[in-house]
Amino acid sequence: MVLLILKSYLIFTVCVLLIYTVRHFLFTMNRLFYEQRVYYHDLIDSDIKSITILIPMHNEEQVAEQILDLLVPSSYNTEHAEKTTKNILDLLVGADYPHEKMEIIPINDFSSDNTQIILDEYARKYDFIKPLHRYEGKRGKPAALNEGLKHAQNEIIIVFDADYLPPKGILKDIAVSFNDPEVGAVMGRVVPVNTRTNFLTRLLDLERTGGYQVDQQARFNLKLIPQYGGTVGGFRKDVVISNGSFDTSILAEDTELTFRLLLDGWKVIYANRAECYEEAPETWSVRARQIRRWSRGHNQVLFKYLIPLLASLHLTKKEKIDGVLLLFVYTVPLILILAILDSLALFFLGEMQIVAGITAFVFIGAYNTFGNFAPFYQIGVAALLDGATKRVQLLPMLIFNYFFNTIYITIGFFEAFWDRLTGRSTKWIKTKRFRNKNGGTPLHTKNLRDSSNRIGKN
Amino acid sequence: MIAKTVLSSYYPLGTISVIEQPFLWKNIFIVSLPKKNPSALISVINLIISSGLIIVLPRIKKFKLIAIYFIFLASIQMFSALFFTFSPSEFPYSATEFSEFYIKSEISIWIFMPLILSMALMLLPAPFLPKLMLILFALLYSFLFGTLRYIIFLFIIHEFSSLYMALLFFAFGPLIDFVYIVGIYSFYSSRLAESLKSSEAVWKWSY
Report the complex ipTM. Answer: 0.85
Mark yes or no for CB contact B190/A389 under 8 Å: yes
Nearest CB to B193 within list A199, A357, A384: A384
Q: Which of B182, B192, B199 is the mutation pick for testing A, counting most A CBs within 10 A?
A: B182
Whole-number pLDDT of residue B13:
63
Which band of pLDDT confidence, cut at 50, 70 and 90, is reported for residue A350?
confident
Q: A272 vs B207: CB contact, 8 Å cut-off?
A: yes
* pLDDT: which is higher, A160 or A47: A160
Residue A365 confidence (pLDDT) above 70? no
Contact flag B193-A387 (C-beta cutoff 8 Å): yes
Contacts of B116 in chain A (CB under 8 A): 364, 368
Which of B93, B190, B196 minimises the CB distance to A392? B190
pLDDT for residue A218 is more than 50:
yes
Distance between CA atoms of A45 and A51, rounded to whole angstroms?
A: 15
Set of chain A residues whose Cβ sits within 8 Å of the Cβ of B175: 363, 367, 399
CA distance B171 to B50: 14
Chain B hits for A396, CB-CB cut-off 8 Å, are 179-180, 182-183, 186
**Predicted pLDDT at A94:** 57
pLDDT band at A71 (very low <50, low <70, confident <90, very high): low
Confidence grade of residue B35 (pLDDT, cut at 50, 70, 90): confident
Split at pLDDT 50, 70, 90, the class of A91 is very low
**Which B-chain residues 71-130 have CB contacts (< 8 A) with chain A?**
71-72, 76, 79-80, 83, 91-93, 97-98, 101-102, 104-105, 108-109, 112, 116, 119-120, 123-125
Q: Name every chain A residue with its beta carbon within 8 A of the beta carbon of B196.
A: 384
Interface of A with B in 28-47 (CB under 8 A): 28-29, 31-32, 34-36
Q: How far apart are CA A94 and CA A72, in angstroms?
A: 5
Please say if the pLDDT value at position A77 is more than 70: no
Q: Does B183 touch chain A (CB under 8 A)?
A: yes
Inspect the interface and report whether the beta carbons of A385 and B206 lie closer than 8 Å: yes
**Which is more confidently placed, B8 or A243?**
A243
Which pLDDT does position B196 carry in this prediction?
Answer: 80
> Which of the given ranges, A40-49, A113-122, A230-239, has the highest pLDDT on average?
A230-239
Instruction: Tell me the pLDDT band of A369, cut-offs 50, 70 and 90.
Output: very low
What does DSSP say about strands A132-134 and A102-109: parallel, antiparallel, or unpaired?
Answer: parallel
* Contact criterion met (CB < 8 Å) for A356 and B105: yes
Percent pLDDT > 70 in chain A is: 81
Residues 279-318 of A with CB under 8 A from B: 284-285, 288
Query: Quick check: A133 pLDDT over 80?
Result: yes
> pLDDT tens across A1-28, in order?
888 898 888 888 888 888 888 899 999 9
Residue B86 confidence (pLDDT): 92
Q: Do B105 and A394 touch (CB under 8 A)?
A: no
B160 to chain A, any CB pair closer than 8 A? The answer is no
Task: Tell which of A369, A392, A452 to mutate to test the B interface (max B CBs under 10 Å).
Answer: A392
Cα A414-A319-A274 angle, rounded to 5 deg: 85
Please state the rounded mean pLDDT for residues A241-252: 88
Residue A86's pLDDT is 32
Residue A410 pLDDT exceeds 70? yes
Residues of chain B with Cβ-Cβ distance to A399 below 8 Å are 175, 178-179, 182
Looking at chain B, which residue has its C-alpha nearest residue A26?
B123
Distance from CA of B13 to the nearest CA of A (A): 30
Residue A444 binned pLDDT confidence (cut-offs 50, 70, 90): very low
Q: Which residue has the higher pLDDT, A446 or A49?
A: A49
Mean pLDDT of A357-375: 59
pLDDT at B152: 92
Which of B68, B104, B203 has its CB closest to that of A407? B68
| pLDDT at site A358 | 56
Contact B207 A31 (CB under 8 A): no
The tens digit of pLDDT for each residue in B69-100 reads: 899 899 999 999 999 999 888 888 888 988 88
How much is the mean pLDDT over chain A?
81
Give the tens place of pLDDT for each residue, A372-396: 567 888 988 888 888 888 888 888 8
Asked whether A412 and A292 are in contact (CB, 8 A), the reply is yes
B5 band by pLDDT with thresholds 50, 70 and 90: low
Highest mean pLDDT among A104-118, A242-256, A417-431, B73-87: B73-87
Q: Is a pLDDT exceeding 80 seen at residue B12?
A: no
Pairwise CB contact (< 8 Å): A392 & B189: yes
Q: Mean pLDDT across the stretch A256-283?
A: 91
- B75 Cβ partners below 8 Å, 6+ apart? B50, B54
- Whole-number pLDDT of residue B61: 76
Is the CB of B170 less than 8 angstroms away from the CB of A401?
no
The mean of the pLDDT values for chain B is: 85
Check A384 against B192: CB less than 8 A apart: yes
Q: Please list every residue in chain B whose beta carbon sits closer than 8 Å to the beta carbon of residue A384.
A: 124, 189, 192-193, 196
> Would you call A26 an interface residue with chain B, using a CB distance cutoff of 8 Å?
no
Cα B82 from chain centre: 23
- Give the highest mean pLDDT range of A67-71, A168-172, A196-200, B47-51: B47-51
- Alpha-carbon distance of A82 to A153, in angstroms, equals 31
What's the pLDDT at B156? 92
What is the model's pLDDT at position A362? 57
- Residues of A with Cβ-Cβ distance to B197 under 8 angstroms: 387, 389, 455
What mean pLDDT is predicted for residues B129-142? Answer: 93
A388 to chain B, any CB pair closer than 8 A? The answer is: yes
Of A356, A389, A400, the CB nearest to B65: A400
Give the pLDDT score at B4. Answer: 63
The average pLDDT across A93-122 equals 83
pTM comes to 0.84
Residues of B in contact with A380 (CB under 8 A): 120, 123-124, 185-186, 189
Look at A393 and B187 and tell me if their CB atoms are within 8 Å: yes
Answer yes or no: is pLDDT of B53 > 90: yes
- A369 interfacial to chain B (CB closer than 8 Å): no
pLDDT at B11: 67
